[in-house]
Amino acid sequence: MFIADNLIEDGHLIGGQHKESGKIVFPLPSGAEQAFYDTVQLSDEGKLWSWSVQRFLPKSPPYMGTETLETFKPYIFGYVELPRQVIVQSRIVGCDESDLKIGMALRLTTTPFDHKEKGVVDTFAYTPA
């Protein structure tokens, strides 16, 4: 789970555009790999490409939530196609799964996430536009 303060700038996700190929990736690579990318603001609106519901507690690590088997609540996640950029995996909030339609317009938002090491933080999500 990504924490929003590392990924959002001026209301946009931050990706990387490869300096030679022009391919856009998300998230922006870090470490030595970052030298091959220019920072690029990603669109704050996209279309739902695909989705599912996470109905069981994800394996930890890599999942960093504080839920237990008893407290876990299913959540929607999907792939959001940002026009002419990249497809981003994200939580989908502000709707029920019965509201979702492939191709529907979504916009970037944030949602709280209870992180094992950092406490409650904001992470990015998408919501119906």
Instruction: Chunk the chain into consecutive blocks of 10 residues (it has 129) and report each block's average pLDDT, rounded to whole numbers.
Output: 60 93 94 95 96 94 88 96 96 96 96 88 93
Q: How many domains does the chain have?
A: 1
What local confidence, expressed as pLDDT, does residue 6 receive?
Answer: 55
Q: Which of 50, 46, 4, 45 is nearest to 27 (CA)?
A: 4
Q: Domain range for residue 87?
A: 4-128
Q: Which of 43, 128, 39 is nearest to 84 (CA)?
A: 43
Q: What is the pTM of this model?
A: 0.89
- Contact, 73 vs 55, CB < 8 A? no
